[in-house]
Amino acid sequence: MRIRLVAAAALVAACAPAQPTPSPQPRPGPATPARADSTRPGPGGVSAPNANPFPSTYKAPPTRTTLIRNVTILTAAGPTIRNGTVLLRDGKIAAVGTTVSAPVDAEVVDGRDKYVTPGIIDDHSHLGVYAAPGADALSDGNEATNPVTANVWAEHSVWPQDPQFPRALASGVTTVQILPGSANLIGGRSVVLKMVPSATVQGMKFPGAKYGLKMACGENPKRVYAQRGPSTRMGNVAGYRAAWIQAEAYRRKWDKWNADHQGDPPQRDLGLETLAEVLRGNILVHNHCYRADEMAQMIDIAKEFGYKIRSFHHGVEAYKVADLLAKEGISASLWSDWGGFKMEAMDGVRANLAMVSAAGARAIVHSDDPSGMQRLNQDAAKAMAAGERIGIHTTEDEAIKWLTINPAWALGLDDRIGSIEVGKNADVVLWSGNPFSVYSRVDRVWIDGAPAYDRANPASWWRTDFELGNVPLAGESR
Amino acid sequence: MTSGICGRPPEAGRWEAGIERGGRFRIRCRPLYIGTVCALALAAIAVPALAQTIAITGGKVYPVSGPAIENGTVLVRDGKIVAVGASVAVPGDATRIDATGKWVTPGLVNALTGLGVSEIGQVQQTVDRGARGDNAIAAAFPVWEGINPASTMFAPARNEGITSVVVVPTGGLVAGQAALIDLVPGTVSDMIDKAPVAMVAQFGDARAGGTNARGEQYARLRELLDDARVYARRRGDYERGQTRPFAARRADLEALVPVVEGRLPLLVNADQASDIDAVLRLARETNVKVVIAGGAESWMMGERLAAANVPVIVGSMNNIPTSFSALGSRQEAAALLQRAGAKVVLIANGSGGEEVFNVRNLKYDAGVAVAYGLTWDAALRAITLTPAEVFGVADRIGTLQPGRDANIVVWSGDPFEFTTRAEHVFIRGREVVQPSRQDELMDRYKQAPPAYRKP
């Protein structure tokens, strides 16, 4: 919505799942044949698919086997399990069901009247790139100097001491896609982070997550570039197409060189390298797009150049083309009830998520907002209720997917996170009650099986460096 | 309220375009202005009451003025509540509304919004919320004159149980005057319940206030209030050019007179604890009634606010140190203020331009406040009676009591829960639920493809 919004994060794709790529440097293509040419490119000199120059250094903390029992489990993978038990061992979900017994070494958490869900995933956030407190010095989300900045990477703007991170965690959010803003037609790469404290952004990066690419439709780019252009929606479309034409030429040139290593390697271009990775299917496109008509046009552009759109973000009019989204296999990342703040947001309706979901498309609750991010479950509840009022019934088993497995899919991580299933990463939230109730709070959060948040133990809470001395501890008076 | 006096002697004459519904408008004017002002005032009372008797029976009634009544009846006649209780006789001619299993509350009051003066935030021609003012002073700005009753944002709010709002101007050091309106269909004159209900100012963000430092803001506010006081005593001298220069234009000084006379509260947007302390000091020094809005760190000042009898308008969803003035934001603010004995008004968490679209979400802010420690009864009071008290209309709205306006909502359950819907919304005794623009859009598209795209 706001200009700081949206943008698909380009994830560094394609490392071995769950393993940070050990090599910090891109390598020349496939097993390098002996070459007559003695001028070998140095590290970084070659445009290599799936290069990972800023690898994750995240290491899951030591865990203790944990058994959460007597809970209602919304699994996002099947029907609700009443009086269920979840076993977390070695960072993974080791067992789930009604007849799981406690290993002798397990810490047992009794959750009578409580609920367990997968960790919440927000696929649209600007934490760290628009950190709190709001100040020009911390405004790093839009490289609004050129309408196409595919060359920038959101992770290079993320401030790990943003006090918004621990607040997201305390509301059950365990994985977040950080996107560049929406000032530009093509805003740059996104990054997927775990909500864990770290002095470096590399320490927060989700190992093996793909990058995303942020694109933006409509009002924001044409407003920001009104003087130099694009100043119209048709100018926007010409801008996307021009970029993809360049990207396709670049991809061919490099794919050829990577295959045959004939002659000097072409010169790298960071922006085109990112776009070429989209064309190769290694980076996922996250497209800020409010209006139904523009979504349809972006789908045609994607077909023209042979890439896929993974998710339309802020699609306040997604309900108007829900059948098209379902047919094309494109998810819709939505708010329940933001609307009206600008012309292209006028037609926002609260049942949007329910309508998109009912049409068979993947509906996702996203935030684009550090406050809304803390209540994504409530946004889902509002959309469920609004759907109910127009005759669209959404079960809790479906709605939990809007918050977990569907955004996991949008990030290409649905094989690792987003549901309570054996083998998945043990990213788990214990709620004081039904997460779709206004009165429920997050009691505990585990990430990779390790305790990440415990409401009852304020001394254990993650406080960023910024907060020391600046932000009073809860309950503490200055 | 002072009753209207048109035609006082010129030296005591006031020009206050104050509007209050029910004929109790307070108008004091120079003879010159009598025609204009009285015409305006008459327009405000020209809303016909509906000659109808309505009985809402069998519900769990939350009068707010007293304990909940199981299986209660609310009887409405001619737009007013005439009886509330467990054993109210229902006249034979009454229209009955069966509220068995339902919850019945007063209509909700959103006490700080741009509803009606901001349609599409980023389309300037639809936004009439901030005046240009003179050197950051716009005290004379009557924000209600820009309210567009045709705004598509009204229906979503009233359909979900919001029956009154306080329309608050923004910008500058003194933003202008706020109005309390009922969300009845009709003209602005029909809607206005009372205007002005507060003078709006800022303290803390010095640049936003048209100054360069907090101390400068304090000095300017102090000077302005002092000048208004002198002006009020010496209008005749002012007209004859026999006063020193004042810090504001005549219309702005005039608008500030009821503030310095303690008849109109000064609503100050302030977040930082030290800023709230400064506002309390200003109030003491100038003998002005103040209300704190925003109040990110107000919870640190609870006892002082309670001792000074200064109410706080605060949200329940703010816990981010969004600015250096709001480092101590926390969601327990309302509960902590309540515990300290301060008066709390809860407002909706519109974090940006979508605020007017989500005036309706006030009830969820109340629910979240409960999750963060406020008692349920206090949360309901904080969105009904307390705002009515703070803005001087508790004799008309905010409770279910005989004599009050029939602003009533029948809910399918706990009003703060997402699954609950407002089944009946009455404002001044009239059912006001009608499809919103969003309802029409959903109806059109609820099946994909929509009917118009089918062969």
Q: What is the ipTM of this complex?
A: 0.91
Which positions ≥6 away from A224 have C-beta within 8 Å? A3, A142, A144, A147, A183, A184
What are the helix (H) ranges across B143-213? 154-159, 188-191
- Residue written as token pair 């959460």: A68
Query: CB–CB of A401/A356 below 8 Å?
Result: no
- Residue written as token pair 């079960």: A395
State the Rg of chain B over Cα.
22
Please list the helix, strand and coil fractions of chain A in percent, rounded to the nearest 5, in that order. 25, 20, 50
Mind giving me the DSSP string for A162-213? -THHHHHHTTTEEEEEE---SSSSEEEE-EEEES---SSSTTTB-TTPPEEE
> Which two tokens mark A277?
């990775």
- Using the CB atoms, write b or e for A325-355: b if 16+ within 10 Å: bbebebbbbbbbbbbbbbbbbbbbbbbbbbb
Chain A's closest residue to B322, CA to CA, is A133
pLDDT tens sequence across A196-243: 999 999 999 999 999 999 999 999 999 999 999 999 999 999 999 999
Domain boundaries, chain B: 4-43, 53-106+409-441, 108-397
Closest CA to A33 of A261, A254, A202, A305: A261
Q: Please give the single-letter amino acid code of residue B65.
A: S
Q: Please give the single-letter amino acid code of residue B402.
A: P
Q: Which residues of A touch B300 (CB under 8 A)?
A: 472, 477-478
| Calpha distance A162→A466 (Å, rounded) | 7
Split at pLDDT 50, 70, 90, the class of B414 is very high
Query: CB–CB of A142/A101 below 8 Å?
Result: no
> For A470, which of B123, B318, B327 is closest by C-beta distance?
B327
> For A439, which of B319, B356, B371 is closest by C-beta distance?
B371
CB neighbour class for B443 (10 Å; exposed up to 12, middle 13-18, buried from 19): middle
pLDDT of residue A452: 98
Query: CB–CB of B266/B290 below 8 Å?
Result: yes
At residue A476, the 3 state secondary structure works out as: coil
Question: Residue A151 above 90 pLDDT?
Answer: yes
B321·A471 Cβ contact <8 A? yes
Q: Which residues of A touch B419 (CB under 8 A)?
A: 381, 384-385, 388, 436
> Which two tokens mark A426?
């043990």
Residue A374 touches chain B, beta carbons under 8 Å: yes
Q: Which residues of A touch B445 (CB under 8 A)?
A: 319-320, 322, 355
CA of B196 to nearest chain A CA: how many angstroms apart?
27
What are the helix (H) ranges across A3-88? none
| Calpha distance B366→B212 (Å, rounded) | 36
pLDDT of residue A234: 98
> Which two tokens mark B350?
């519109």
pLDDT exceeding 70 applies to what percent of chain B? 88
Phi, psi dihedral angles at A378 (to 5 degrees): -70, -35
Q: Which residues of B touch A134 (CB under 8 A)?
A: 322-323
First to last CA, chain B: 64
Mind giving me the DSSP string for B245-300? PPSS-HHHHHHHHHHHTTSS-EEEEE-SHHHHHHHHHHHHHHT--EEEEE-TTGGG
pLDDT of residue A40: 59
- The CA-based dihedral angle spanning residues A458, A463, A468, A474, taken in that order and rounded to the nearest 10 degrees: -30
> Which two tokens mark A26?
């891109």
Question: Residue B145 above 70 pLDDT?
Answer: yes
Question: Residue A15 above 90 pLDDT?
Answer: no
Which region among A211-215, B205-209, B368-372 has the lowest average model confidence (pLDDT)?
Answer: B205-209
How many beta carbons lie within 10 A of that of residue B88, not counting itself?
A: 17
Chain A's closest residue to B350, CA to CA, is A338
> For A437, which of B351, B417, B438 is closest by C-beta distance?
B417
| Calpha distance B157→B147 (Å, rounded) | 15
Question: Residue B14 above 80 pLDDT?
Answer: no
Which positions ≥6 away from B57 have C-beta within 8 Å? B73, B90, B96, B97, B98, B99, B100
A385·B354 Cβ contact <8 A? no
Q: Which residues of A touch B120 (CB under 8 A)?
A: 340-343, 346
Query: CB–CB of B201/B290 below 8 Å?
Result: no
| Calpha distance B445→B455 (Å, rounded) | 15
> For B442, which of A351, A370, A375 is closest by C-beta distance?
A351
Query: CATH homologous superfamily for B53-106+409-441?
Result: Urease, subunit C, domain 1 (2.30.40.10)
pLDDT of residue B206: 85
Interface probe with B: pick from A371, A377, A473, most Cβ of B within 10 Å: A371
Closest CA to A3 of A253, A344, A232: A344
Apex B222 CA angle, B230 and B298, nearest 5: 135
Across the range A141-151, mean pLDDT stands at 98
- Residue written as token pair 């788990």: A428
Q: What is the pTM of this model?
A: 0.91
| Calpha distance A459→A245 (Å, rounded) | 55
A369·B153 Cβ contact <8 A? no
Across the range B336-362, mean pLDDT stands at 89
> For A2, which of B119, B352, B367 is closest by C-beta distance?
B352
Phi, psi dihedral angles at A63 (to 5 degrees): -120, 160
pLDDT tens sequence across B110-121: 999 999 999 999
In this structure, which topology does domain B108-397 adopt according to CATH? TIM Barrel (3.20.20)
Q: Which residues of B touch A349 (CB under 8 A)?
A: 438, 441-442
| Calpha distance A193→B393 (Å, rounded) | 50
Across the range B355-371, mean pLDDT stands at 96
| Calpha distance A278→A276 (Å, rounded) | 5
Q: Please give the single-letter amino acid code of residue A320.
A: K
First to last CA, chain A: 36
pLDDT of residue B316: 96
pLDDT exceeding 70 applies to what percent of chain A? 90
B123·A343 Cβ contact <8 A? yes
CA of B267 to nearest chain A CA: how many angstroms apart?
24
| Calpha distance A70→A64 (Å, rounded) | 19
Interface probe with B: pick from A438, A464, A466, A468, most Cβ of B within 10 Å: A438
A133·B446 Cβ contact <8 A? no
> Which two tokens mark A424?
């998945």
Interface probe with A: pick from B124, B151, B320, B411, most Cβ of A within 10 Å: B320
Chain A's closest residue to B415, CA to CA, is A438
pLDDT of residue B39: 34
How many beta carbons lie within 10 A of that of residue B158, not counting itself?
A: 27
A472·B445 Cβ contact <8 A? no
Q: Which residues of B touch A437 (CB under 8 A)?
A: 417-418
Which region among B3-12, B231-240, B269-278, B307-316 has the lowest average model confidence (pLDDT)?
Answer: B3-12
Split at pLDDT 50, 70, 90, the class of B310 is very high
Q: Which residues of B touch A381 (CB under 8 A)?
A: 418-419
> Which two tokens mark B206?
């010095």
> Which two tokens mark A377?
């479950």
| Residues of A (200-239) whose Cβ lies below 8 Å from B | 219
Split at pLDDT 50, 70, 90, the class of A47 is confident
| Calpha distance A322→B444 (Å, rounded) | 13
pLDDT of residue A28: 44
Residue A322 touches chain B, beta carbons under 8 Å: yes
Chain A's closest residue to B367, CA to CA, is A438
pLDDT of residue B5: 31
Residue A471 touches chain B, beta carbons under 8 Å: yes
Which positions ≥6 away from A119 have C-beta within 8 Å? A172, A173, A174, A175, A404, A417, A427, A428, A429, A445, A447
Q: Which residues of A touch B411 (CB under 8 A)?
A: none
Question: Residue A352 above 90 pLDDT?
Answer: yes
Residue A392 touches chain B, beta carbons under 8 Å: yes
pLDDT of residue B205: 87
A350·B416 Cβ contact <8 A? no
Q: Which H helix or E strand runs over A242?
A: helix A233-260
Chain B's closest residue to A384, CA to CA, is B419
Interface probe with A: pick from B123, B148, B357, most Cβ of A within 10 Å: B357
Q: Which residues of B touch A337 (CB under 8 A)?
A: 354, 357-358, 361
- Using the CB atoms, write b or e for A27-59: b if 16+ within 10 Å: ebbeeeeeeeeeeebeeeebbbbbbbebbbebe
Chain B's closest residue to A370, CA to CA, is B320
CB neighbour class for B419 (10 Å; exposed up to 12, middle 13-18, buried from 19): middle
pLDDT tens sequence across A431-470: 999 999 999 999 999 999 999 999 999 999 999 999 999 9
Split at pLDDT 50, 70, 90, the class of B231 is very high
- State chain A's mean pLDDT as an integer: 91
pLDDT tens sequence across A362-409: 999 999 999 999 999 999 999 999 999 999 999 999 999 999 999 999
B419·A391 Cβ contact <8 A? no
> Which two tokens mark B263?
């008849």
Q: Which residues of A touch B412 (CB under 8 A)?
A: none
CA of B130 to nearest chain A CA: how many angstroms apart?
16
| Calpha distance A294→A245 (Å, rounded) | 20
Residue A390 touches chain B, beta carbons under 8 Å: yes
Question: Residue B337 above 50 pLDDT?
Answer: yes
Across the range A158-182, mean pLDDT stands at 98
CA of A71 to nearest chain B CA: how many angstroms apart?
20
Q: Is A378 left (phi over 0), alpha (psi -120 to 50) or beta?
A: alpha
A371·B320 Cβ contact <8 A? yes
Please list the helix, strand and coil fractions of chain B in percent, rounded to the nearest 5, in that order. 35, 25, 45
Q: Please give the single-letter amino acid code of residue B405.
A: D
| Calpha distance B198→B241 (Å, rounded) | 30
B122·A391 Cβ contact <8 A? no
Residue A314 touches chain B, beta carbons under 8 Å: no
- Chains A, B: CB contacts under 8 A, how many? 151
Q: Which residues of B touch A389 (CB under 8 A)?
A: 421
Question: Residue B38 above 60 pLDDT?
Answer: no
Phi, psi dihedral angles at A225 (to 5 degrees): -105, 25
DSSP B21: G
B446·A390 Cβ contact <8 A? yes
How many beta carbons lie within 10 A of that of residue A241, not counting itself?
A: 13
pLDDT of residue B49: 52
- Residue written as token pair 């990440």: A452
Q: Which residues of A touch B446 (CB under 8 A)?
A: 351, 355, 390-392
B449·A385 Cβ contact <8 A? no
pLDDT of residue A478: 35
| Calpha distance A75→A118 (Å, rounded) | 7
At residue B429, the 3 state secondary structure works out as: coil
Across the range A275-296, mean pLDDT stands at 98
Q: Which residues of A touch B361 (CB under 8 A)?
A: 337
Phi, psi dihedral angles at B452 (to 5 degrees): -70, -15
